[in-house]
Structure 1
Amino acid sequence: MQNWVEHVIWWQIYPLGFVGAETDAVDERKHRLEHVTDWLDYVLELGCNGLALGPVFASQTHGYDTIDHFSIDRRLGSETDMDALVTAAHDKGVRVLFDGVFNHVGRGHERFVAAEKDGPDSESGRWFTWSDGRPRAFEGHDLLVELNHANPAVQDYVVDVMNHWLARGIDGWRLDAAYAVSPDFWAAVLPRVREAHPDAWIVGEMIHGDYADYVRRSGLDSITQYELWKATWSAIKDANFFELAHALGRHDELLPTFVPATFVGNHDVTRIASTLDDDRDVDIATALLFFVAGTPSVYYGDEQGFRGVKEERVGGDDAIRPQFPATPDDLAPYGWPHYRVHQSLISMRRRFPWLHHAPVEVSTLTNTTMTLSATDGSTTLALTLNLGESPIRRAKGDVVAAADGVHGDLPPHSWAVTVRQ
């Protein structure tokens, strides 16, 4: 386990949207990555110390149709621009995570262009999976053609890509659509990556499946905890903390094997502020994110209460992948209370870093109230949550972080973290 991961809190961005890039590839290179660099101080003031970048490689549309894993997308800038961003981040103590799309590539990838020309049985053709003479499309998306992960040449290619960018300074990889790739592929690839870069952190996108088994068989360090994400917003929205308590029990069972990557928002889901009806409940979700064990990430704009609904249509992700303004002064004033909640909770996480791996015990539990506790040695932290319309007593102890206006009892739709030592 890399020690730095215990202390990292990611700020995740979708770069093409963040910089306001065109929706399709361009011929003329645009140097826009400096816009990301300009927000590093904001990230640090928030309390985060990791920058998790969505797809940055050359692609034809949304970034997940990669056509060259060794080149930065022209809409973002150049390889030199990326080197400058990574250097600037490291100079400020900020780790950098890349998004590796290795389950599939775009149809413009040179290997697929050759495969279409030479056929499935050619050297390039064997890089891909075929059905009835046609390349297999990932989840029905014709722009995305699935790689043949049993081909040693594909394994070599992925090793080369991962090592190339780790050697240029990044700190780890998010593996897109890992759930669609056999863990045997990663078991063959990752030892060769770790041999050169033992300190790299590798997290896989897992939407469903047996998380612990996949980690054991693949050699990944972590996976994205979608089960807990769903239970968090669903329990709050439906006023059913029993659902969340069940999910937390399953979550804790993972901890002896690995620490999951936790979140309440990302580039693929409706914003938490659009999912929940009450801004106070959005902050309850945030409190859960930073109290429960995990390696947490904040999706850019969630710390400002951004809204956006994901739709199942072409362009349906645009609302959740917006352009960020030039400076923090250009952000709307109504978002800053959410920002301060994040700051307070991240400060708590910094004070008690053992929360990263600590299981929780559920004590008070009704549909609308819940108390969670986590203990390290003689120190016990308790998170009290109230979704109801009447005040309740919070857990005993000194208040570490709390919703605005919490002094004694816990008002409706509020939260508080207390400590006893």
Structure 2
Amino acid sequence: MPDWSEHVIWWQLHPLTFTGAPDEATTEVVPRLEKLHPWLDYVIELGANGLLLGPVFAAATHGYDTVDHFRIDARLGDEPMWDALVEQARGRGLRLLLDGVFNHVGREFPHFQDVLAHGDRSEYKDWFHLTFAEDGTFTYRDFEGHGALVALNHENPAVRQYTIDVMRYWLDRGADGWRLDAAYQVPAEFWRAVIGEVRTTHPDAWFLGEVIHGDYAEIARAGDLDSVTQYELWKSLWSSLNDANFWELAWNLERHNEFAAGFVPQTFVGNHDVTRIASRLDDPRHLGHALTVLFTVAGIPSVYAGDEQAFRGVKYDRAGGDAEIRPAFPSTPGELADLGAPVYRLHQDLIGLRRRHSWLTRGTAEKIHLVNEAFAYEIRRPDGDGGLVVLLNVSDAPYGFDLGDRPVKRLLASRSEGPEAEIEAHGWAVLEY
């Protein structure tokens, strides 16, 4: 991985909905990318140092139905407006990660439109997985049953070269890397070939694969990916807290250690595709527990815009089911309600703790104590000189942890007073030794 990626903490947003763009494409150029500028200092104050952007390229609707990878969506602006965002971000030391949708395209993608017009006589027919009937009609492979998303043929060298050219174009224009949408759907050898070629000209670029299920370590290795999304940890976090069953989280932390030994996972408690953590948790007192784990285990963390303000929103599996989790944001951070301030400060505190212990990016979490409703784990410094201990209690009574002879002191906790190893009901703490 490039050195800078060891220290990045992403603030993720979906630009089209964040800026209040309409659902349908338009030819009118509207400077909505400029609406991100007032939020850049907010990101810095939060403690993050990177923007993980959802789709910004010309698309038909939600951004994942790309029409032109070389053009900024008119609903957001144009290329000079992208350049201005790069300048504003660079002036603050913010990294930029672009969302690359290279598994599929929208039906309005020019090459597919050519196929619709010319059938098996189209010079672009090999860009897609097509099955022609005797009458010249055809069917095509789509993305997971979504007919508006046409799957690309990754065995076609022209598709590979197109992807390389797109990546290089935007890396040249200021991007620092790529989030590869639906990476699990694309053959690993395609990613290896593309990324290997792009790295010959952009060795400091970082590549994150969206992987929901499958063999994370093997997908990362075979595809030459720097990181993949750690959905297993995400699920075990809210599930363990809701079920008062820390055995699931403990087991997944062992899995997480195995993953982190081969690559640095991308960790999160929320993103643009899932129910917000404040809505997912049954007990709001356990939000601090989830965030504490996120910022103390190995990985490259991201915060989904609004989660740091305890925004609520449920993801539904139906048309328009993303609306609650992808709201429009106000013009400036100053227009946010004060209700989210305590959760914002908690994010600041935990991100600050991680910044002061940057070795946590590659730390190993080891179980100290485990029962259904209480869990303690430690993360040792790589040099062996001490480490951190995390204490989690979701029971209705205080819980005293046996930490042996570790000379601990409290760094951060849901309650500041009391013995270091005794945690109040539904409380948490991070200790140092």
Per the normalisation by structure 1, the TM-score is 0.98
1: distance between equivalents of 2:121 and 2:409? 68
**277-286 or 200-209, larger mean C-alpha shift:** 277-286
- What does residue range 168-207 of structure 1 map to in structure 2 within 5 Å? 168-207=173-212
Whether the aligned pair in 2 keeps the contact of 1:241 and 1:368 (CA below 8 Å) is: yes
Aligned with 2:395 (options 388, 399, 404): 388
2: distance between equivalents of 1:227 and 1:170? 28
Structure 2 equivalent of residue 36 of structure 1? 36
Whether the aligned pair in 1 keeps the contact of 2:242 and 2:283 (CA below 8 Å) is: no
Does the residue aligned with 2:32 lie in a helix, a strand or coil? Answer: coil
2: distance between equivalents of 1:405 and 1:223? 36
State the AA in 1 paired with 2:409.
D
Does the residue aligned with 2:375 lie in a helix, a strand or coil? Answer: strand
Does the residue aligned with 1:116 lie in a helix, a strand or coil? Answer: helix
Pair 1:312 & 2:317 matched: yes
Structure 2 equivalent of residue 59 of structure 1? 59
Q: Percent identity?
A: 54
Structure 2 equivalent of residue 79 of structure 1? 79
Whether the aligned pair in 1 keeps the contact of 2:29 and 2:78 (CA below 8 Å) is: yes
**Structure 2: gaps (5+ residues):** 133-137
CA spacing shift, 1:120–1:37, aligned 2, 3 Å? farther
Whether the aligned pair in 1 keeps the contact of 2:275 and 2:314 (CA below 8 Å) is: yes
Pair 1:247 & 2:252 matched: yes
Aligned with 2:426 (options 404, 413, 417): 413
Whether the aligned pair in 2 keeps the contact of 1:116 and 1:125 (CA below 8 Å) is: no
State the AA in 1 paired with 2:183.
A
Structure 1 equivalent of residue 361 of structure 2? 356
Structure 2 equivalent of residue 321 of structure 1? 326
Q: CA RMSD in A?
A: 1.2
Pair 1:70 & 2:70 matched: yes
- What does residue range 213-252 of structure 1 map to in structure 2 within 5 Å? 213-252=218-257
**Structure 1: gaps (5+ residues):** none
Whether the aligned pair in 2 keeps the contact of 1:114 and 1:124 (CA below 8 Å) is: yes
Aligned length: 420
CA spacing shift, 1:323–1:419, aligned 2, 3 Å? same
CA spacing shift, 1:120–1:320, aligned 2, 3 Å? farther
Whether the aligned pair in 1 keeps the contact of 2:12 and 2:305 (CA below 8 Å) is: yes
Whether the aligned pair in 1 keeps the contact of 2:6 and 2:361 (CA below 8 Å) is: yes
Pair 1:146 & 2:159 matched: no
Does the residue aligned with 2:111 lie in a helix, a strand or coil? Answer: helix
Aligned with 2:410 (options 399, 404, 418): 399
Note the alpha carbon deviations across 1:289-309, whole angstroms, 9 max, x for none.
001100000000000000000
State the AA in 2 paired with 1:248.
L
2: distance between equivalents of 1:227 and 1:239? 17
2: distance between equivalents of 1:35 and 1:308? 22
1: distance between equivalents of 2:395 and 2:416? 16
Pair 1:300 & 2:313 matched: no
2: distance between equivalents of 1:106 and 1:313? 19
Cα offset, 1:406, TM superposition? 4.8
2: distance between equivalents of 1:121 and 1:207? 37
- What does residue range 81-160 of structure 1 map to in structure 2 within 5 Å? 81-120=81-120, 122-131=122-131, 133-160=138-165
Structure 1 equivalent of residue 21 of structure 2? 21
Cα offset, 1:407, TM superposition? 3.9
CA spacing shift, 1:404–1:14, aligned 2, 3 Å? farther
1: distance between equivalents of 2:389 and 2:115? 58
1: distance between equivalents of 2:423 and 2:264? 31
State the AA in 2 paired with 1:24.
E
1: distance between equivalents of 2:118 and 2:424? 68
